[in-house]
Amino acid sequence: MRSSRVLVILVVLLGALCLTPRSKAQDAPRHIVKVGVLFSSTGTMAENEKPLQEATLLAIDEVNQSGIVLASERRLRLEAVVADGGSSPAEFADKAADLMDHHGVRVFFGCWTSDSRKAVLKVLEPRGGLLYYPVQFEGMEDSPAAIYSGLTANQQLFPALRYLGNAGPPKVFLVGSDYLYPRATNELCRQYLARHGGQVVGERYRRRGASDFTEIIREIKKSGCSVVLNTINGSSQRAFFQQYQNAAGKAPVMSMSLSESQALSLGSLTDGHFSCAGYFMSLRSPQNARFCAAFQKRYGSDRVVDDACETAYSQVRAFARALMRCGRAEPAALRKATRALILDTPGGLIRYDPKNLYCWRAIRIARFQAGRARVVWSSELPIRPEPFPRVKP
């Protein structure tokens, strides 16, 4: 008799559960939003760009785990479509066209070099695509197909030069890879020094992937410079720092594009040298602790994250926030929803400028020792970006 009552109670409870309405969000069908993840996993830029791909995929998975539910209660899921730009602007353009034309991708996260970015934007602009770009660059651009998350010259170069000028007008030797970003940055450096004091005592470039800097280093030593401004990118960093140490170069190097992960792999080669960036792994905050722990859990406990890596991660979260605001993965709607968007990131508070969709970010300068970066100066507050930077009095 008792077992019969228990059975009746169970049947009643089961019926009640079946009649209990589930939330509409749970019942809503999942809508897939394809996003392109377009970085180099081969070629001379792979060492720089592979961590950005990894951080982007981590953020996409975290967004999917937390869920995107729109005001309409439609549930979205991001699907990453990964492609290799091969460190070649032409390859980047071909892969972007393929993802748009054959895979239905309209939103991209990707690129490192400015020539790759420009090649991709030429594909996206006429097709109505959108690129989230995570790397520091020269500015001088206002594309309707881009959201610029990386640093501009007034956020990175000018603070670095002010820091270097604390000990008196600097004598600067400019060394870089031979493409748009280093040349544009070095022209702005000349303008800044002409107005604020200091001089350029040498300027040399080598192609990306170059491994012989012997002649340039001889010129650096003869120039009597007080600092080397380094805009080298990619695998050439190792060759430059190795040969600079072998030649007993004395002037400190201030790097614009040397990542923390690269610096760690170079070890003592970077001792005493500097980097200027918006983020360093040593920053202390709950957001940064969570990010570093999640990245290392997924990719290895010895892995290092850096500025561009953190930016690649944070811009995916900015995209998700904008998507929830506007309710659809349409580039024009996403751009509108991103204006004035504020986000608490591992690197601190950021804000997308409502006028130009460049990003307000804090800036830091760090000194390397045994491959590790120690922050020696910080702007503390986010700096307003200037897409077309001007040297001011």
pLDDT digits (tens, 9 = 90+) for 127-174: 999 999 999 999 999 999 999 999 999 999 999 999 999 999 999 999
Q: How many CB atoms lie within 10 A of CB 353?
A: 18
Task: Give the confidence band of 4 by pLDDT, cuts at 50, 70, 90.
Answer: very low
Given the DSSP bridges, would you call strands 199-206 and 171-177 parallel, antiparallel or unpaired? parallel
Provide CATH 3.40.50.2300 ranges for the chain: 27-151+284-361, 157-280+366-378
Architecture of the CATH domain 157-280+366-378: 3-Layer(aba) Sandwich (3.40)
Q: Return the bridge partners of 343, or none.
A: 350
Please, how many CA atoms are within 13 Å of residue 317, restricted to the half-sphere of its CB?
21
User: Residue 206 to residues 86, 108, 301, 387: CA-CA distances in angstroms?
Assistant: 19, 30, 35, 27
User: 24 pLDDT exceeds 50?
Assistant: no
Q: Give the model's pLDDT for residue 5.
A: 42
- The percent of residues above 90 in pLDDT, for the chain, comes to 86
The two three-digit tokens of residue 161, written as one number: 């030069």
Q: Give the model's pLDDT for residue 302.
A: 93
Task: Give the confidence band of 29 by pLDDT, cuts at 50, 70, 90.
Answer: low
User: 364 pLDDT exceeds 80?
Assistant: yes
Alpha-carbon gap, residue 387 to 38, rounded angstroms? 23
Average pLDDT over residues 27-54: 90
User: Residue 153 to residues 222, 273, 385: CA-CA distances in angstroms?
Assistant: 28, 20, 8
Let me know: does 221 contact 247? Beta carbons within 8 Å. Answer: yes
User: 12 pLDDT exceeds 80?
Assistant: no
For the entire predicted model, the pTM comes to 0.90
- Give the length of the chain: 393
Let me know: does 229 contact 189? Beta carbons within 8 Å. Answer: yes
CATH class entry, domain 27-151+284-361? alpha beta
Q: Give the model's pLDDT for residue 261.
A: 87
Q: How many CB atoms lie within 10 A of CB 302?
A: 7
Task: Give the confidence band of 95 by pLDDT, cuts at 50, 70, 90.
Answer: very high
Given the DSSP bridges, would you call strands 107-110 and 75-84 parallel, antiparallel or unpaired? unpaired
Burial 83-113 (b: 16+ CB within 10 A, else e): bbbbbbbebbbbbbbebbeeeebbbbbbbbb
* 74 or 127, greater pLDDT: 127
